[in-house]
Amino acid sequence: MNNHSDTDVHLSGFESRVFGSFDFRSFPMGPSLRQYLGIKSEYRGDLVAKVNDEAAVRFAQALIEYAADHPVTDGAALVNLLEELVTMDMPGAALALHEAHPDIFPVNDFRAQFHLGNAAMLAGSLVIAEHAFTEAQKLVPAETAPYVNMAQILIHDQRFDEAQHWIEAGLAVDANHCGLWEILAWVFQQQEIPDHPKSLEKMARERNSWAGLSLVADLVAPEEPERKLMFLEGIYNEGDPSEEFLVEYTAVLGQCGLYDRIAPVIWRAKAALASKPFSWKLQLHLVQSQIATEQLEEARESVNTLLNAKGVPASVIDTVVPALLAEIEESASLSLNHSKPVTMVGAKNELN
């Protein structure tokens, strides 16, 4: 982040006016921007493989100049434009567009305040960001993202007590938000709290938080997965059905070499979910456990299920799945009679 200041928004590289016309049709953008700019069938931005920095600066400058003569007239449309510009890594342009339309900005809309906060945070205008995230949290207290972003802003300003307040408020909304627990651990370290893992464990137990207890185990004994399993076992026996917990739990079972216990956990979860979409991460753990226990035919079937699951990242399909298939074939050809070590993926160490 940049230094915290309440000065004018700085648009990096925008000081020099772009002369001549800019062909918006050849720049990649989302549907809201295309509609605003009047681009229809002649759009060619989807053919552009990569945008260089100079083209991005020229686009942002041209967009700001276009907005001066073609003001946005609808608050919802303005919010959509802000969101797309932030996604395009143009937070300065998003802030400039917001500043040009103060009368239609929907101040009582969560998305409006949240995307404004994101734009301001990325652009280094932290006073604007702090105000926007505070308003967003008031509008939808059950959404955790404003708590995370506010904590980061306050940490940047070394306002650690305020950051802790926001973190704890966020954990009251979601006691198993891994990101908030990690930020809290970092705050405790910066405050030099003696034996801060014990303080974290106390807070995690008060909230019955598996995510907090899992983090404590990582801090205290990162090379001893058995300690983490001890924490998570009790919570599993109490019947925590959440997908994120089960991903972490089955990962720890794998790290402890207890591969034969993974499949029953996953089958039980599948039965409980019934017709609901099933986590690709749990499906991946099922494949890994079946390979480790030499259930190779079942593993092949599970790989096919994994390939048809929703939301599987391209990196998993392109690299992990071929590696799994190769391991299955190798195990089959060698007729291995012992379990092989498998690296399991936990909730806080996801494949992307």
DSSP labels, 149-160: HHHHHHHHTT-H
For 240-251, b where at least 16 C-beta lie within 10 A, e where not — what string? Answer: beebbbbbbbbb
Rounded to whole angstroms, the Cα distance separating 218 from 225 reads 8
Which domain, by its residues, includes 314? 237-352
Q: What does DSSP assign to residue 22? A: -
The pLDDT > 70 percentage for the chain reads 88
Q: Looking at the chain, how many residues does it have?
A: 352
Do residue 188 and residue 173 come from a single domain?
A: yes
DSSP assignment of 317-343: IIIIHHHHHHHHHHHHHHT--S-----
pLDDT tens series, the chain, 352 aa: 444 444 333 333 333 233 346 888 889 999 999 999 988 878 888 888 788 888 888 899 999 999 998 999 999 999 999 999 999 999 999 999 999 999 999 999 999 999 999 999 999 999 999 999 999 999 999 999 999 999 999 999 999 999 999 999 999 999 999 999 999 999 999 988 888 999 999 999 999 999 999 999 999 998 999 999 998 998 898 876 788 999 999 999 999 999 999 999 999 888 877 667 788 999 999 999 999 999 999 999 999 999 998 899 999 999 999 999 999 999 888 764 554 555 565 555 544 3
Q: Shortest CA distance to 179 belongs to which of 154, 214, 129?
A: 214
Within a domain: residue 70? yes
Which of 220, 249, 279 lies at the terminal end of a domain, its last residue? 220
Which of 220, 255, 283 lies at the terminal end of a domain, its last residue? 220
Do residue 340 and residue 259 come from a single domain?
A: yes
pLDDT of residue 239: 78
Do residue 133 and residue 16 come from a single domain?
A: yes
Residue 100 tokens read as 């040009």
Q: How many CB atoms lie within 10 A of CB 223?
A: 6
Domain count, the chain: 3
Q: Which amino acid is at 11?
A: L
Do residue 118 and residue 28 come from a single domain?
A: yes
pLDDT of residue 116: 98
Do residue 81 and residue 130 come from a single domain?
A: yes
pLDDT of residue 55: 87
Rounded to whole angstroms, the Cα distance separating 282 from 286 reads 6
Question: pTM of the prediction?
Answer: 0.81
pLDDT of residue 179: 96
Helix, strand, coil distribution of the chain in percent, nearest 5: 65, 0, 35
Do residue 10 and residue 132 come from a single domain?
A: yes
Which of 188, 220, 252 lies at the terminal end of a domain, its last residue? 220
